[in-house]
Structure 1
């Protein structure tokens, strides 16, 4: 995993940002975009930084940026990179063709004014209200409707902006000051350090979203044959009518129809996933008729304590970096005697063979490993069924 920097000239390497990224313990990978050198996709990309450069149309970069925006991969556009970001999100950028098209006032150093939105922005909060920055004349940015302006000056209505919760455009140089061109001012260092920290904190979710976003549209058709196995697994939860059930890491919500049938019209079904594209796909095939869809981290559920009676998690636990944390959170939201069903439509041996590896004794789903972890996180294992063509573990919330 790495922070990818797209350079547009040999000297357009944002050194201050590189230092912040390195300080956060992240790897850097630079691409010479001016030669056509670009990543094939977003696999292994923790964040995308588009450096400053000449004003040219870059369709391949726009496609990469659109993919990053869709998957919520953190993005930082600098200078002309900010203009590319705006265009990728549905805005526009143009160079002034005549003096009358250009913003009034000269290029050079001037005060930067923050908008009220900057006060709560993850990067710009606590930035001095009137900082001195280098601004440029003659280029205009038209932001898409969903963008939030964070900074402007008297000649340029858009100097910094945010799109969604993961993408920022900064049109003035970060890492230069009017007294020391090679060094960032303290507030600029904070902006860069916060971006690097945000990238590091979101790395796990970024990888998940990048993987599933580009597969979401075809996911249901590709795995529709597994529906009977999901139905059989849900049946083993044995939830009463009127119960509240979660489908964690729901993807396209394949378990939701069976959960709805089990808890009845008077029950509650909630599908939870961290990838927006998967929930969009689920809504598109009618899963909202079975229950509600929620974008959330399964290890930090926005639900009251003891509020659910059943949790279904397919192919999820062994992919989490901190399974104990997740299991404790699932125990928190579960009522006494609530049911947890861990499922996969392939057995452990079948999956190991498919990936060309032996079945490992260190597998977190092996019974000698899973049973004590469940016990110490608030669960009691009642059924362990690692069959040839499915894996299923049923646990009950310990009193």
Structure 2
């Protein structure tokens, strides 16, 4: 069997991911918190890397208002179609297809005027998470904000059963899903990528805020850049 590409995998399951992204208990509140962590003001420009089905875009739009700009970038066609449907009523929300590590921006956006970058549940899919964070920080520049939210193993006292469920979810959401044994455990590989991204963001920041959510599984790091 040929290996299914990430675009094919996420495109095929776009409907399910959309449901999970919007209806999982605790996740809508997390998305609101991530949008707030971007420290946006009316009129600002924010770019979401790996916007998926667009679950964060309305929250970001609430913060930038009618005169701000929201850009969502993702590489999967069926996923982006859902994001476009969700945001069709807003003329200042733009959804573009592209790689989060080399993002195209909407024609309406001056790439020297991006105030914040948000990336939720994205860096674990990248080959070089720290390098991507560097690029996002460069896009925003001094005094801008970069916010990361990612799922990794919980460090709470009740972590063992939570992490068992987390491991199963990671395996089911990592293409291909037909393998029963892995040479390198996907959840451990994911942890390493997320640690690298969040730690690198800390090195670029003048001010940092760290939080955990959803039984300690979700790590939220917001940084104002130097």
Global fold match (TM > 0.5): yes
In the other structure, the counterpart of 1:104 is none
Q: Which residue number corresponds to residue 397 of structure 1?
A: 225
Alignment equivalent of 1:384, drawn from 206, 210, 216: 210
Over 3 Å counting, the alpha-carbon distance change for 1:371 and 1:260 in structure 2 is closer
Larger Rg: 1
> 1:348 corresponds to which residue?
153
1:57-96 equivalences in 2 (<5 Å):
none
Measured after TM superposition, the shift of residue 326 of structure 1 is 1.2
Would you say how many aligned residue pairs link Structure 1 and Structure 2? 191
Q: CA deviation at 1:305?
A: 4.3
Question: By how many angstroms is 1:215 displaced?
Answer: 0.8
Cα RMSD (Å) of the superposition? 2.8
Residue matched to 2:16: 218
> 1:287/1:373 Cα in 2 relative to 1: closer, same or farther (>3 Å)?
same
Which structure 2 residues correspond to residues 69-218 of structure 1 after superposition, within 5 A? 207-218=5-16
Which string of whole-angstrom CA distances, capped at 9 and with x for unpartnered residues, describes residues 306-354 of structure 1?
321111111111221011321222122214211111113x563167432
Q: Deviation of residue 271 (structure 1)?
A: 0.8
- 1:288 aligned to which of 65, 68, 88: 88
Per the alignment, residue 194 of structure 1 pairs with none
CA contact (8 A) 1:348 1:386 kept: no
Asked if structure 2 preserves the Cα contact closer than 8 Å seen for 1:352 and 1:359, the reply is no
- The residue aligned with 1:313 is 119
- TM-superposed CA distance for 1:270, in Å, is 0.7
Q: Evaluate the alpha carbon distance shift between residue 370 and residue 386 of structure 1 in structure 2; reply closer, same or farther with a 3 A threshold.
A: farther
Structure 1 or 2: more strand by fraction: 1
Structure with more relative contact order (C-alpha pairs < 8 Å, separation 6 or more): 2
Q: Shift of residue 363 of structure 1?
A: 2.3
Q: What is the 5 A alignment of 1:219-298?
A: 219-225=17-23, 226-284=27-85, 286-290=86-90, 291-298=93-100
* 8 Å Cα contact 1:374/1:380 also seen in 2: no
Contact 1:243 1:309 in 2 (8 A): yes
SS at match of 2:53: coil
What residue ranges of structure 1 are gaps of 5+ in the alignment?
1-38, 46-206
Partner of 2:178: none
Shift of 1:375: 5.2
TM-score, structure 2 normalization: 0.73
1:386 CA displacement = 2.9
